[in-house]
């Protein structure tokens, strides 16, 4: 049910070791009522520790990631970092009542529904207990998701387009207005996400009146709230324009501890977020709450860093644009702000022009770059791109360095990418020197590693160039 003011203490809840920073899901909800969300899932199945959840028709654009979780409180909840593949403790999973898609598993009662909405340990965990799991996470790009269409399975339409008849019309009108320029589900989702991120985030709110619709009250009366309200509003608005969505509850991915090499998740990271269903790609996370960062595909406006083919020409132009390196920060004289006196105008104009040229060049270079690398092995692509982008941060590879030695150097300079850099180097060495092609799973891991590495390297490259170092 929708609540009012909340207060959290900031104590650690989970310690997570994972190559992929992800939300940690406790439960999903499919049915919306004016007072909040409820779950239609009432089918429970036991899964033994040696049971493996395998879809007969696995989603595209996914890779399996090993993860470990240590809990800071007593709980029977199995927090999941993606679609559950395997967990090393006996769990009971909750699924929808009448699934039409199933997975194979070593279960005491038969096949398990693909759409698992929650998992609970058969034996309650105590503080500092840990469990290991394999999760299937999506690395689908925006360009892939835009092409999925709207041919939804019947079970998706049945459960995830539901809305109460009492929903005020003005909510539907607003949803149509916000998405009027979008011609596909992804762009509708991005439009609603962008609209909501302009709304005020606050935990200091009153609960909606008893007879009010929570989403309507949030959108038109209070115009502020926390993640429960943002996630609910996005889900309801998208459902009203024909896009299937569910609401997930659990934790945001927390803060990475470089020394301990774990993500520390506190109770202040408690979170709700919407997941949008895309045919053939499954559930994709979105983030309408303005107090949390956007998914990586929105690192730049329009999702320009969502794919390698868009990202690489940006790196190439950044490397070759001589004026970019020459930008220096102007000192601020006494007697007024830089804006008031116009002192920043040359600097700002140069920066704006450089950024504008970079973005324009992105489009111009896309086709040639895409076709040039289309036939290159993913390991070589990832290693080449990592090396090129790192060189912009004065982290060039020396001729005598092996790929793994170079990866270790990058990891020492930027600790959060240490494992990913080594993963890319390992794949490159395997292809170049081992003369063995990567499996689909290994290729997926290399691509996933590059997606994490590029963000860190790009930020370092830009700050290095702006500082003139």
Stretch (H or E) spanning 233: helix 227-240
Asked whether the beta carbons of 98 and 40 are under 8 A apart, the reply is: no
Query: What does the block give as tokens for 33?
Result: 């009522």
Which position has the higher pLDDT, 189 or 417? 189
pLDDT tens digits for range 251-299: 998 888 877 888 999 999 999 999 999 999 999 999 999 998 877 543 3
Q: Give residue 466's pLDDT band: very low, low, confident or very high (50, 70, 90).
A: low
* Whole-model pTM over 0.85: no
User: What's the angle, vertex CA 286, arms to CA 187 and CA 454, rounded to 5?
Assistant: 90
Question: In a 3-state reduction of DSSP, which class is residue 383?
Answer: helix
Torsions phi, psi for 329 (to 5 deg): -80, 125
Distance (Å, whole) CA 347 – CA 345: 6
Q: In terms of pLDDT, which residue wins out, 51 or 364?
A: 51
- Other CB atoms closer than 10 Å to residue 164's CB: what's the count? 11
Give the integer Cα–Cα distance in Å for 251 and 4: 19
Cα torsion through 219, 225, 226, 231, rounded to 10: -10
Structure confidence by residue, pLDDT tens digits, 197-237: 999 999 999 999 999 999 999 999 999 999 999 999 999 99
Q: Which domains does the chain have, with CATH numbers?
A: 12-298 (3.10.620.30), 308-467 (no CATH)
- Residue 21: CB atoms within 10 A of its CB come to 16
Enumerate residues 6+ apart whose C-beta is below 8 A from 145.
185, 186, 278, 281, 284
Burial 238-259 (b: 16+ CB within 10 A, else e): bbbbebbbbbbbbbbbbeeeee
The label of the residue with tokens 């020394």 reads 259
* Among 368, 388, 206, 223, residue whose Cα is nearest residue 290: 223
pLDDT-based confidence at 445, cuts 50/70/90?
A: confident
Q: Is 461 helix (H, G, I), strand (E, B) or coil?
A: helix
CB atoms closer than 10 angstroms to residue 58: 15
Beta bridge partners of 28: 248
The Cα 68–Cα 129 span in angstroms is 11
Please give the full DSSP string across 75-135, using - where no structure is assigned. Answer: EEE--BSSEEEEESS-EEEEE-SS-SSEEB--BSSS-EES-EEEEEEEEEEPTT-EEEEEE
Q: Are strands 200-201 and 224-225 parallel, antiparallel or unpaired?
A: parallel
β-bridge mates for residue 362, sequence order = none
The alpha carbon of 171 is separated from its chain's Cα centroid by a whole number of angstroms, namely 27
Q: Tell me the pLDDT of the chain averaged across its residues.
A: 80
Q: What is the pLDDT of residues 49-95, one digit of tens each?
A: 876 665 544 688 888 889 999 999 999 999 999 998 889 999 999 88
Helix spans in 126-220 (H): 142-146, 154-160, 169-178, 185-196, 214-217
pLDDT of residue 53: 64
CA distances from 48 to 82, 96, 109 (A): 19, 20, 11
Enclosing H/E stretch for 278 = strand 270-278
């Amino acid at each position: 049910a929708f609540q009012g003011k909340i207060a959290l203490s900031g104590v650690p809840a989970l310690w997570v070791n994972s190559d992929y920073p992800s939300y940690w899901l406790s439960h999903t909800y499919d049915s919306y009522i004016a007072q909040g969300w409820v779950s239609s899932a009432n089918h429970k199945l036991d899964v033994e520790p040696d049971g493996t959840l395998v879809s007969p028709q696995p989603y595209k654009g996914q890779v399996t990631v090993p993860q470990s979780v240590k809990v800071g409180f007593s709980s029977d909840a199995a927090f999941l970092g993606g679609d559950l593949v395997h967990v090393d403790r006996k769990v009971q999973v909750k699924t929808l009542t009448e699934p039409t898609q199933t997975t194979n598993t070593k279960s005491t009662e038969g096949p398990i529904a693909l759409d698992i909405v929650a998992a609970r340990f058969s034996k309650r965990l105590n503080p500092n207990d840990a469990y290991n799991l394999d999760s299937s996470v999506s690395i689908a790009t925006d360009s892939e998701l835009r092409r999925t269409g709207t041919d939804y399975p019947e079970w998706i339409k049945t459960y995830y387009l539901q809305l109460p008849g009492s929903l005020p019309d003005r909510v539907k009108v607003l949803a149509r207005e916000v998405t009027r320029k979008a011609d596909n589900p992804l762009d509708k989702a991005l439009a609603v996400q962008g609209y909501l991120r302009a709304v005020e985030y606050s935990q200091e709110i009153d609960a909606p009146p008893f007879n009010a619709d929570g989403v309507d009250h949030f959108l038109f009366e209070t115009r502020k709230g926390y993640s429960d309200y943002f996630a609910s509003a996005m889900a309801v608005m998208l459902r009203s324009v024909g896009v299937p969505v569910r609401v997930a509850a659990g934790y945001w991915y927390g803060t990475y501890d470089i020394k301990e090499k774990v993500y520390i998740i506190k109770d202040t990271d408690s979170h709700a977020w919407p997941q949008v269903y895309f045919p053939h790609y499954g559930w994709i996370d979105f983030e309408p709450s303005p107090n949390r960062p956007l998914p990586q595909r929105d690192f730049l406006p329009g999702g320009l860093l969502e794919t390698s083919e868009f990202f690489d020409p940006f790196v190439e132009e950044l490397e070759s644009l001589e004026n970019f390196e020459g930008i220096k920060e102007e000192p601020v004289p006494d007697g007024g702000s830089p804006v008031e006196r116009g002192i920043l105008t040359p600097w700002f104009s140069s920066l704006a022009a450089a950024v504008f040229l970079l973005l324009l060049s992105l489009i111009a270079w896309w086709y040639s770059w895409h076709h040039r690398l289309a036939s290159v092995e993913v390991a070589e692509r990832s290693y080449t791109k990592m090396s090129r982008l790192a060189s912009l941060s004065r982290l060039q590879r020396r001729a005598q360095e092996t790929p793994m030695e170079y990866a270790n150097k990058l990891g020492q300079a930027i600790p959060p990418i240490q494992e990913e850099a080594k993963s890319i180097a390992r794949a490159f060495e395997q292809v170049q020197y081992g003369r063995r092609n990567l499996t689909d799973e290994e290729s997926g891991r290399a691509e996933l590693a590059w997606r994490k590495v590029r963000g860190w390297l790009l930020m370092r490259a830009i700050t290095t160039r702006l500082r003139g170092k």
